[in-house]
A and B are shown apart, each in its own frame.
Chain A
Amino acid sequence: MAAYTASVTVRLKPGVLDPEAETTERALERLDFDLEELRSADRFEIDMEADSPEAAAERADAMAGRLLANPTIHDYSVEVEPAEPAAGATR
Chain B
Amino acid sequence: MIAVCQFGGSNCDRDAVLALRHLGFEAERVWHADGLPAEADGVVLPGGFSYGDYLRAGAMAARAPILREVCDAAERGVPVLGICNGAQVGTETGLVPGAFTTNASARFRCEHVHLRVENAETPWTAGFEPGEVLTLPIAHGEGRFEIAEDTLADLDDDRVLFRYCNEAGAVTDAANPNGSVDGVAGLLGEHEHTAVLMPHPERATLPDLGGTDGRTILRGFASEAEG
Please give the residue numbers on chain A whose beta carbons come within 8 Å of chain B beta carbons, in ascending order: 16-20, 22-23, 67-68, 70, 72-73
B residues touching A (Cβ–Cβ < 8 Å)? 55-56, 59, 63, 91-92, 97-99, 101-106, 144, 146-148, 151, 179
Q: Are A17 and B144 closer than 8 Å at their CB atoms?
A: yes
B146 touches A19 (CB 8 A): no
Q: Report the Cα distance A23→B147, complex, angstroms.
A: 23
Give Cα A68 to B97, complex, Å.
18
Pair A19/B56 contact, Cβ less than 8 Å: no
Q: Chain A nearest CB: distance from B98 CB in Å? A: 6
A-B contact count (CB 8 A): 35
Knowing A70-B92, A72-B147 touch, does A17 contact B179 (C-beta < 8 A)?
yes
Whether A19 pairs with B59 at a CB distance below 8 angstroms is: no
Closest residue of chain B to A12 (Cβ to Cβ) is: B101
Q: Are B99 and A73 in contact (CB under 8 A)?
A: yes
A/B interface sample: 29 pairs, CB < 8 A: A16-B101, A16-B146, A17-B104, A17-B144, A17-B179, A18-B102, A19-B102, A19-B103, A19-B104, A19-B105, A19-B106, A20-B106, A22-B106, A23-B106, A67-B55, A67-B59, A67-B63, A68-B55, A70-B56, A70-B92, A72-B91, A72-B97, A72-B98, A72-B99, A72-B147, A72-B151, A73-B99, A73-B101, A73-B146
Closest to A17 in B: B104
Q: How far is the CA of A51 from the CA of B137 in the complex (A)?
A: 53
